[in-house]
Structure 1
Amino acid sequence: MTKELDEVHAEFYAAFEAGDLDRMAAVWADGAFAAGVSCVHPGWPMLRGRDEVLRSWALIMANTTYIQFVLTGVETDVYGDHAVVTCEENVLTADDENEDGFLAGGSIVATKVFVRDGGEWRLLLHHGSPVLNSAEEE
């Protein structure tokens, strides 16, 4: 049961890294769940509704030249047709437009709620919150 859930969770990150909006859209819930789809990108307000959430991904992907995720602390809890996945996203980004190829990193704590619809797991809610590193805390 969690194998399929793990695959959809991994596909979320693969779609983001590839900048593939069609793949990202396939991960998110639709149909009866479309109105309840919600997303909080780090530093953004709550986005609600499948269309609004997918517009945000289109904007992010159009403005991201490179991104890579290394996930740590992945925990999965399944409750019937709902599941909660938490993890830390260790992120590397780069800017191809900068001649130095600017590279930045950071950590985000992410919570995702998945729903099983028609036997397939789909993402209903994603909430990412930045984690301050020790240099930022001082």
Structure 2
Amino acid sequence: MKDIEELNQAFYNAIESGDLDKMSEIWIEDGGGRTAMCVHPGWPMLSGRSEVLRSWALIMANTPYIQFVLTDVQTAVLGDVAVLTCAENILTAADTDEPGFAAGRVVASSTYLRTPSGWRLWLYHGSPVLQSDDEEDEEEE
């Protein structure tokens, strides 16, 4: 399980540093009855390694700053498949004319597959956690 959690952290480090080469190393190659798949929060399903990596390249190119603090990390390994779930607590540059930051929370599931080259990310699915007005008021106090 430690291997999976380290690879998962490398995935987030690649996003934070905008390292598409590292991201490419983490994702599985299509073939053998498997296809890389990704669901970014609010996006439709992306299928196929090239489409998935293209999406990460676009995100990285258009994100001047992002930081992830992972909480509630749980990992299960069943033979050659591992599933890691977590909450992504995200701090990013605000999308406004004024400099500043925006925060958000996403729950994510990542499925890893053991390959001859080691563990590789097969499926990532992130869903935004919507905050109620009460939670937003508490954060502002």
**Is this a same-fold pair by TM over 0.5?**
yes
Gaps of at least 5 residues in structure 2 are 137-141
**Higher mean C-alpha deviation, range 59-68 or range 111-120:** 111-120
Q: CA 1:41/1:34 → structure 2, altered by over 3 Å: closer, same or farther?
A: farther
**Higher mean C-alpha deviation, range 103-112 or range 127-136:** 127-136
Q: Report the residue type matching 2:111 in the other structure.
A: V
CA RMSD of aligned residues (A): 2.2
Post-superposition offset of 1:35: 5.3
Contact conserved, 2:110 with 2:122, CA < 8 A, in 1?
yes
Identity score, percent: 56
In structure 2, the residue matched to 1:91 is 90
In 2, the alpha carbon distance for the partners of 1:33 and 1:58 equals: 25
**Higher mean C-alpha deviation, range 33-42 or range 57-66:** 33-42
In 1, the alpha carbon distance for the partners of 2:33 and 2:59 equals: 20
Given candidates 86, 100, 103, the residue that maps to 1:102 is: 100
The size of the alignment, in residue pairs, is 136
Counterpart of 2:125 in 1: which secondary structure? Answer: strand
In structure 1, the residue matched to 2:139 is none
In 1, the alpha carbon distance for the partners of 2:32 and 2:127 equals: 24
Q: Report the residue type matching 2:19 in the other structure.
A: D
TM-score by length of 2: 0.88
Post-superposition offset of 1:32: 2.6
TM-score by length of 1: 0.90
Q: Moved runs in structure 1, 4+ residues, more than 3 A? A: 95-98
In 2, the alpha carbon distance for the partners of 1:33 and 1:127 equals: 22
Deviations 1:89-114 (A, max 9, x none): 0000015994x322100100000100
In 1, the alpha carbon distance for the partners of 2:5 and 2:85 equals: 12
In structure 1, the residue matched to 2:63 is 64
In 1, the alpha carbon distance for the partners of 2:101 and 2:33 equals: 35
